[in-house]
Amino acid sequence: MGLFDGVISKAKDVAKMATNKTEEVVGVSKLKLKSMNINSQIKKTFEELGSAVYSMNKKNRNNGDIVKKLLIDVDKLFVEQKDIIQQISNIKHEKICNSCGTSISSDYAYCYNCGDNIEKNNIKNYTTLSE
């Protein structure tokens, strides 16, 4: 009976692990899709920004308010984008280098892109947050 229970609980563990892995993959692909959507929104906003600035200079239109609004929109999108990248990194158990923004497996202490100390950066970040 003991052995049988053991087999069942082991099977449950394996099933649970597989579920977690699936959720992880689904979560990451959902976030990646979201990130792609934000990318195209950023691109679109930059296009609108360019066209607003163009007509402002070329046709003497007062687009100051539109330009201001679009600049705020772009900044919001960048914040959203950063948040999504952070979420993906959390799911994949990665860290983000504060110097260059590369996501790095939590096994590494140094960024392979710029060589910065990630542990130190994250501690610094934490201190800044708690201040």
Interface positions with Zn ion (CB under 5 A): 97, 99-100, 102, 111, 113-114, 116
Angle at alpha carbon of residue 40, lines to 36 and 46, rounded to 5°: 145
Reference 109, options 88, 123, 127; nearest CA is: 123
C-beta of residue 73 within 8 angstroms of C-beta of residue 43: no
Distances (CA, A) of 16 to 4, 7, 19: 18, 14, 5
The Cα 28–Cα 21 span in angstroms is 11
Residue whose CB is less far from Zn ion, 44 or 93: 93
Residue whose CB is less far from Zn ion, 45 or 89: 89
Residue whose CB is less far from Zn ion, 99 or 122: 99
Residue whose CB is less far from Zn ion, 79 or 100: 100
Q: How far is the CB of 98 from Zn ion (least distance, A)?
A: 8
Q: How far is the CB of 28 from Zn ion (least distance, A)?
A: 21
Q: How far is the CB of 102 from Zn ion (least distance, A)?
A: 5
Q: How far is the CB of 100 from Zn ion (least distance, A)?
A: 3
